[in-house]
């Protein structure tokens, strides 16, 4: 038996809503990329500092090519292009593990970062009149906020996040934090060899403040317990959560004590940054669903952590 016109119209509306929602999330993530790039070009580079992670290595390669090998490049920062070139092979290697949607969004954000870094003008001196510490803190907050915003929207600006995910698949006791610490230790060791101590100290301050800003904006490590009570008896809701979010569901039959009506309770564990996506999926199928959330729960057992 074929689908009715109402069912086809409903499917089309759901698809249209999904596209609109994901387009909105991608636009916000690209906005995060713009904020990150502005922080780098307007505050970090004029202060002569080096970002953490892969971007820091890209900046060191840029400095070696321009200052030591005298590559004839003026009024153009090639660090963004180097950053792009380093990240693309890493992303291709991790494409299966990070998921198609995350991969596509990250490619878009990475391309945006490269464009913004290439075309946002770099001042000849710091905007805060030689206040290196002030430039460091403001630049770090902007960069951390930009990175955290992209992660909250289900994307990434590239760098050690993707490398960490690949290493976690290989060895379980490795974490994103450990990879960042090791990467920055190597990076600032090289900086200490090539540059003066003050550059390394201010760069370390940048790394600490930006990490704080990322953690404040991106709530990936906050587990949320979600109970959804719905009278809807439609497997489409559960299938979309399973397929789009890759999260397990426990379904329980429940009865309203007052109405004595039968309903279903879906029990799901997600990270905090996935809550918005889950709510959109549930309310799309059942606008009258009763949703209860409990943040900061401890999870022991099989639970998939995501970037």
Q: Which of 102-116, 189-203, 287-301 has the lowest mean pLDDT?
A: 287-301
Share of the chain above pLDDT 70, in %: 84
For residue 67, is pLDDT > 70? yes
Query: Cβ–Cβ contacts within 10 Å for residue 292, how many?
Result: 10
Domain boundaries, the chain: 18-217, 221-295
User: d(Cα 194, Cα 187) in Å, to the nearest integer?
Assistant: 11
Name the residue with higher pLDDT: 14 or 160: 160
pLDDT (0 to 100) of residue 63? 86
CATH level 3 topology of 221-295: Alpha-Beta Plaits (3.30.70)
pLDDT band per the 50, 70, 90 thresholds, residue 149 = confident
pLDDT (0 to 100) of residue 232? 83
pLDDT band per the 50, 70, 90 thresholds, residue 104 = confident
**Mean pLDDT (whole number) for 155-162:** 79
pLDDT (0 to 100) of residue 30? 95
Look up residue 163 and give its two tokens.
């490398």
Look up residue 28 and give its two tokens.
């916000």
* Summary mean pLDDT of the chain: 82
Strand partners, 230: 264
Contacts of 118 (CB under 8 A, 6+ apart): 76, 77, 78, 80, 81
**Mean pLDDT (whole number) for 43-50:** 89
**Mean pLDDT (whole number) for 200-220:** 79
Task: For residue 70, count CB atoms less than 10 angstroms from its CB and return exposed for 0-12, middle for 13-18, buried for 19 or more.
Answer: exposed
Contacts of 84 (CB under 8 A, 6+ apart): 110, 111, 113, 114
Query: Cβ–Cβ contacts within 10 Å for residue 77, how many?
Result: 21
For residue 229, is pLDDT > 70? yes
For residue 75, is pLDDT > 70? no
Look up residue 137 and give its two tokens.
């803190």
Strands 262-271 and 250-255: what pairing?
antiparallel
Contacts of 148 (CB under 8 A, 6+ apart): 32, 213, 214, 215, 216, 217, 218
pLDDT (0 to 100) of residue 135? 92
**What are the pLDDT digits (tens) for 252-263?**
888 888 888 888
């Amino acid at each position: 038996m074929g689908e009715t016109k109402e069912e086809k119209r409903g499917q089309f509306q759901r698809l249209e809503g999904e596209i609109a929602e994901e387009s909105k999330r991608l636009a916000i993530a690209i906005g995060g990329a713009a904020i990150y790039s502005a922080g780098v070009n307007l505050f970090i580079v004029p202060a002569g500092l080096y970002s953490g992670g892969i971007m820091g290595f890209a900046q060191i390669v840029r400095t070696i090519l321009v200052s030591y090998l005298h590559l004839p490049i003026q009024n153009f920062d090639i660090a963004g292009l180097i950053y792009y070139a380093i990240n693309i092979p890493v992303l291709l290697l991790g494409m299966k593990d990070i998921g198609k949607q995350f991969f596509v969004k990250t490619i878009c954000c990475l391309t945006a970062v490269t464009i913004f870094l290439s075309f946002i003008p770099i001042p000849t001196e710091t905007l805060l009149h030689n206040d290196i510490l002030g430039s460091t803190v403001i630049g770090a907050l902007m960069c951390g906020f930009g990175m955290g915003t992209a992660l909250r929207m289900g994307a990434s600006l590239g760098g050690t996040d993707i490398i960490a995910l690949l290493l976690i698949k290989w060895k379980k006791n490795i974490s994103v934090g450990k990879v960042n610490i090791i990467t920055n230790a190597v990076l600032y060791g090289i900086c200490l060899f090539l540059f003066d101590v003050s550059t390394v100290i201010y760069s370390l301050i940048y790394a600490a403040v930006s990490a704080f800003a990322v953690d404040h904006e991106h709530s990936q490590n906050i587990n949320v317990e979600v109970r959804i009570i719905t009278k809807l008896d439609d497997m489409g809701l559960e299938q979309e959560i399973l397929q789009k979010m890759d999260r397990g569901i426990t379904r329980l039959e429940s009865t309203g004590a007052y109405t004595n009506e039968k309903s279903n309770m879906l029990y799901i564990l997600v990270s905090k940054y996935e809550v918005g996506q889950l709510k959109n999926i549930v309310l799309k199928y059942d606008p009258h669903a009763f949703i209860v959330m409990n943040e900061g729960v401890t999870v022991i057992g099989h639970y998939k952590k995501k970037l």
